């Protein structure tokens, strides 16, 4: 509990620096590129096109696939848009302390706040992509309904989960780069097992236990949450069990992250030097 309170105090005390560093992280990401900020949109757009072409044109040979009365393209971007933030946090969030090691070794900046400002910078880009997604829905004749009011709730859960995960992962990655490589090697598996580009709800009833297991996956819960806002039109409180499972995993990860922080925070500066 003392370590958790210490982390909260560090975030409050350095709140202004955290926001400044978050902005600086965005600038650093796109600095030197001729198109600058445009890459924040171009890269996701290319990825979405590739998956849309593969599943809609390539595998199906053309035709308009409909999922829950929505075009497959809209269903697809509801999964891919939040995934871009998740993917950035699994990669850059995991390496955040190593990337900004000078803040720890030269400036004595609180270690616990580094994954936070990296997460905030990625969340800013994520928010822009959410606005673009809403515009796409409107342009295609599917204006958002009242269920979109819960979008900030799922964005907050997304932010909390991956910020906490990044604290845990970046600490271990600072100690051993093997852990960073392990996380990156698991990204492909996480992507394909989380129902981002395929519909878990269409699984064979004989595999119901696998479906239930996949639904416990926090990434799946978050992806389905975004789709609840745009596609399924379901309130988060209408799925209390799923929310409870997600909350249990989130709290367990928080406890484990704080424990790792308490064990390693004194060693991190020496390791990074």
Is the pLDDT assigned to residue 251 strictly greater than 90? yes
Lowest average pLDDT, out of 61-65, 191-195, 250-254, goes to 61-65
pLDDT per residue as tens digits for the range 125-168: 999 999 999 999 999 999 999 999 999 999 999 999 999 999 99
Q: In whole angstroms, what is the distance from residue 95 CA to residue 194 CA?
A: 23
Question: pLDDT value at position 3?
Answer: 82
pLDDT digits (tens, 9 = 90+) for 33-45: 555 667 677 788 8
**Is 60 exceeded by the pLDDT of residue 63?**
no
Residues facing 66 on adjacent strands: 71
Burial 213-234 (b: 16+ CB within 10 A, else e): ebbebbbbbbbbbbbbbbbbee
Q: Contact, 30 vs 40, CB < 8 A? A: yes
Q: What is the total residue count of the chain?
A: 273
At a CB cut-off of 8 Å and minimum separation 6, what does 17 contact?
Answer: 109, 113
Q: Ranked by mean pLDDT, which of 16-30, 99-113, 179-193, 206-220 comes out on top?
A: 179-193
DSSP assignment of 67-108 equals ETTEEHHHHHHHHHHHHHHHHHIIIIITTHHHHTHHHHHTS-
- Rounded mean pLDDT, 184-201: 90
* Weakest mean pLDDT among 38-42, 86-90, 140-144, 248-252: 38-42
Joined together, the tokens standing for residue 212 give 């239930």
The distance from CA 73 to its chain's CA centroid, rounded to whole angstroms, is 21
Residue 203 has pLDDT above 80, yes or no: no
Residues 6+ apart with CB under 8 A from 65: 55, 56, 71, 72
DSSP structural state of residue 128: H
The DSSP code for 143 is: -
pTM (two decimals): 0.91
Q: Which of 78, 80, 168 is nearest to 119 (CA)?
A: 168
The pLDDT value recorded for residue 217 is 92
The 8-class DSSP code of residue 66 comes to E
Of the chain, the end-to-end C-alpha distance in Å amounts to 29
């Amino acid at each position: 509990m003392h370590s958790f309170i210490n982390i909260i105090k560090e975030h409050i005390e350095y709140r202004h620096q955290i926001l400044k560093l978050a902005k600086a992280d965005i600038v650093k990401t796109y600095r030197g590129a001729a198109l600058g900020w445009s890459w924040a949109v171009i890269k996701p757009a290319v990825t979405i096109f590739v998956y849309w072409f593969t599943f809609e044109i390539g595998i199906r040979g053309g035709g308009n696939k409909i999922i829950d009365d929505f075009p497959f393209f809209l269903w697809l971007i509801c999964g891919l848009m939040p995934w871009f933030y998740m993917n950035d946090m699994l990669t850059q969030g995991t390496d955040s302390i190593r990337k900004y090691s000078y803040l720890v070794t030269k400036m004595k900046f609180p270690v616990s706040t580094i994954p936070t400002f990296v997460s905030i910078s990625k969340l800013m880009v994520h928010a822009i992509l959410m606005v673009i997604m809403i515009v796409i829905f409107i342009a295609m004749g599917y204006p958002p309904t009242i269920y979109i009011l819960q979008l900030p709730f799922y964005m907050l859960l997304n932010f909390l989960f991956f910020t906490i995960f990044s604290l845990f992962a970046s600490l271990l990655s600072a100690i051993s780069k093997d852990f960073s490589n392990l996380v990156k090697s698991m990204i492909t598996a996480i992507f394909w097992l989380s129902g981002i580009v395929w519909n878990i709800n269409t699984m064979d009833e004989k595999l119901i236990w696998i479906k239930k297991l996949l639904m416990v996956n926090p990434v799946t819960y978050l992806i389905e949450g975004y789709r609840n806002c745009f596609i399924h039109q379901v309130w988060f409180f209408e799925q209390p069990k799923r929310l409870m499972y997600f909350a249990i995993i989130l709290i367990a990860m928080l406890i484990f992250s704080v424990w790792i922080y308490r064990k390693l925070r004194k060693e991190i500066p020496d390791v990074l030097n």
